[in-house]
Structure 1
Amino acid sequence: MLKFANAKINIGLHIRKKRPDGYHDLETIFYPVKIYDVVEILPYSKLELHIWNSDLPADTDNLCLKAFRLLEKDFDINPVKIHLLKNIPIGAGLGGGSSDASSTLELLNDYFELKIEKDRLKKYAAQLGADCPFFIDNKAMYAEGIGTELSEINLDLSAYKIVVVKPDIHISTAEAYSNVSPMIPEVDLRKAIELPIQEWKFHIKNDFEISLFEKYPLIGDIKAKLYEYGAIYASMSGSGSSVFGIFNDLEGLEELNKYGKVYFPAEL
């Protein structure tokens, strides 16, 4: 049994304040895109994880293994072998690890016929990572808190083309948060997203860009190039380092390959 685990982009990201528990309250809009990892589970005599197309260690910190152990505490499930084919880049702000974890939860739920309802599955996902519950719903969502408080938002980008550029820069979440300055946003993302997309660049921002563009100028250069090549809106996704652009068409984008790996996902 296998599942295609898709990526996400963030449209706007405001870091509102640091919490007593060390995390940050934020607000953002998650939007799913068609860049896929593949997760497969097979019956096996012991729990094993094999990762393909990546040098990620298949150790106990992997979220797919954590997803299995989380359900194993509450359900009588047998060991499985997990195959993980990576395609979503790591350290890119695209949520690949979170998507893999949520897909593993869904696969285990279906394979063992656990009949876990979606709301409960999202509670399990929240124990694995802040982005994980989003991938259970897997549709445009406004997120608050640490990213686990989700509400539906009316956003459809199917009339546009999305391009993602991933430079050869890895940014850990800890690194991104270490230099960000929390602030109360001037714009309500839920209202800003209702504006014509041509106006988003004047109102919708990613707070991580301020410090990360200074430290990694190439990321800022990619965003500028996306606008130069005709993007209606461009932004770094999540805590970086990938940058996405929303276009009317995809003509004349061949030179983007000079800046990193280019993905041409469609909307879900």
Structure 2
Amino acid sequence: MQTITHAKINIGLLVPYKREDGLHEIRSVFVPIDWGDPMELEVQTLPKGQESTLVFHSENHLLGYRHALFEAVSERGDLSKNILSKAFSRLTPLFREPLEVRIFLQKFLPPEGGIGGGSSNAGVFLKHLFPYTILSPEEQIVFAKSIGADVPFFLQSSACFVSGIGEILEPISVAKGFGILAIPPFGLSTGSMYAGLQKSLQKPYGSEVWKSLAEDLIRSLHVGDWAYLQNRLENEFEKIAFQTQPLLKELKLGFFESGADFASLSGSGSCLYGIYKTEGKRNEALPNVSYRFPNMEFRTFSF
């Protein structure tokens, strides 16, 4: 089986409070994009009594310091620290029968980017292994959440309103969009970014903020009126990211100056993207932002 483990972008990201379990409650719109890590997956049933095994092979296409980050958790480093290996080990007791699973992963999605790189790999991996387990659909969500907060989103492929720590998903309709993703040569630690928000500890409470988005915001997502959404669906992490890495603030401005209708940090960063009204405007903008920010890696995408 050949597939792509897609990246995601966040259109708006609010962190209302820190939960009693130490994790942070979020509200966001997650949108899968058409760029990601190619993955080949082969599953073979083994005779009863044998142990399930994972055979992992990869090609590392990451640039800069991120290349070493992935090498350290690949089969050329300590594979036990890889999110796919961890997920497989925990899933093994739940298989109906022993399995040999072979993976070939081509790694392009950057760690410390805020676009769901490892979570996307894990979500697609689990999605194709869950049918071999005793888990119910509800239990599958709980299991995926235990691997990573964003992993449940990658079990499916539609845009979603997201709440909880990332596991409460409400599919929504989002218009087709054309964007440019900037991958800076530096990352932002998710833990440090959340700590920087300094959210107070509160008991979980229900919130209708995202469920009751004003009709004009819902319409704008549905029809792709990205300019209207700018300054109305904001990413709360930007205020910290722009202080930590001022180049990101310049990059966001650069997207607007190149004709973007909407631009935002994705997740807790460090990747930042711009959305353009048409594919043509996006393609015209690419050489402009590439020239202005020569140390950035840029990828075009659509959704």
Are the equivalent residues in 2 in contact too, given 1:165–1:259 (CA < 8 A)? no
Q: Counterpart in 2 of 1:47?
A: 54
Q: Counterpart in 2 of 1:194?
A: 219
State the 1:118 CA deviation.
4.7
CA distance in 2, matches of 1:95, 1:72: 24
State the 1:80 CA deviation.
2.5
Q: Counterpart in 1 of 2:49?
A: none
Structure possessing the higher radius of gyration over alpha carbons:
2
Alpha carbons of structure 1 residues 118 and 2: separation in structure 2 relative to 1, 3 Å:
farther
Alpha carbons of structure 1 residues 49 and 143: separation in structure 2 relative to 1, 3 Å:
same
Alignment of 1:170-249 (within 5 A): 170-182=187-199, 188-189=209-210, 190-191=213-214, 192-195=217-220, 196-248=225-277, 249=281
> Per-residue displacement from partner, 1:195-231 (whole Å, max 9, x unpaired)?
4422211211111111110110111111110011111
Give the counterpart letter for 1:81 in structure 2.
Answer: R
Q: Counterpart in 1 of 2:91?
A: 71
CA distance in 1, matches of 2:126, 2:191: 25
| Partner residue of 1:166 out of 183, 207, 220 | 183
1 or 2, which has the higher helix percentage?
2
| 1:263 has 2:299 as partner | yes
Q: Counterpart in 2 of 1:133?
A: 152
- Percent identical pairs in the alignment equals 31
CA distance in 1, matches of 2:189, 2:59: 21
Q: Counterpart in 1 of 2:48?
A: none
Q: Output the TM-score relative to the length of structure 2.
A: 0.79
Are the equivalent residues in 1 in contact too, given 2:58–2:106 (CA < 8 A)? yes
> Per-residue displacement from partner, 1:32-90 (whole Å, max 9, x unpaired)?
00111122234688433233214311322222112212321211332333222111122
Q: Output the TM-score relative to the length of structure 1.
A: 0.88
Alpha carbons of structure 1 residues 117 and 3: separation in structure 2 relative to 1, 3 Å:
farther
Q: Which runs of 5+ in 2 are unaligned?
A: 45-51, 61-66, 203-207
State the 1:149 CA deviation.
0.9
- Report the count of equivalent residues: 261
Alpha carbons of structure 1 residues 109 and 22: separation in structure 2 relative to 1, 3 Å:
closer
Name the SS of the counterpart of 1:150 in structure 2. strand
Q: Counterpart in 2 of 1:154?
A: 173
CA distance in 2, matches of 1:130, 1:200: 26
